Amino acid sequence: MRAVRLWIKKEGRARYISHLDMNRCFTRAVRRARLNIWYTEGFNPHPYLNFLAPLSLGQESDGEPLDIRMEDETSNAEIGRRMNAVMPEGLQVVRVEDAVFKASDIAFARYTLRIPMDSAQQAQAFCAAAADLVAAGTLTAEKMGKQGRHKVLKTVSLGEKIRDFSVCVREQTVVIETTLTAGNDMLNPSLLLDALQKATQMPLHARIRRTAFFKADGTEF
């Protein structure tokens, strides 16, 4: 048995496919691609598929890691070719490699947020305000958490979860490049966006794209 990692680009209309539907989609895809992958054991065997860092609904990505286990020696290149032959619109296998690092090695994720504004002046004003707010380290957001067996709404500090942050204006669009904590301590960029919207009192509608993963030492995952 061989552990293989597929990197999946997700964009366009495919960004509205939920994580549950992504599992269904790829369960069908590996069957159509006639891949000899390992099936789980038990009463209801199914193809082993492990999305290492499920993407939030509505967000795009340059590459989402999906692990499978092959029962034969089909080459990585052939796996990618067969999968892309059956992929729906908006999903593409961009890379196939042997799985080396574990999911727990993911410590950070990098995102690009594109926020259209009504005018260049408004964009510049938001750009300056956002840079100051992140630099001050005082941004907070409300996030669902657990207290015993109950789910409760908690206020979390975002400053320690933002590894780096840059913001600029391109015509009337604000472009944010930021690296946020991932894994068990994940900061969803939508929470950062909500915090900036609350602090600036500006309605924000961003196109969010995840572009890379990093380990704790800063090297790419």
pLDDT digits (tens, 9 = 90+) for 115-153: 999 999 999 999 999 999 999 999 998 877 776 677 778
Q: Which helix (H) or strand (E) holds 15?
A: none
CATH of domain 2-100: 3.30.70.580
- Residues 92 and 193: beta-carbon distance below 8 Å: no
The CATH class of 105-214 is alpha beta
SS3 at position 47: strand
- Compute the distance between CA of residue 192 and CA of residue 198 in angstroms, rounded to an integer: 10
What are 6-37's pLDDT values in tens digits?
999 999 999 999 999 999 999 999 999 999 99
Q: Where are the CATH 3.30.70.580 domain residues in the chain?
A: 2-100
pTM of the model: 0.92
Q: How many angstroms separate the Cα of 78 from the Cα of each of 7, 81, 160, 169, 213?
A: 14, 5, 42, 42, 25
* pLDDT for 3: 96
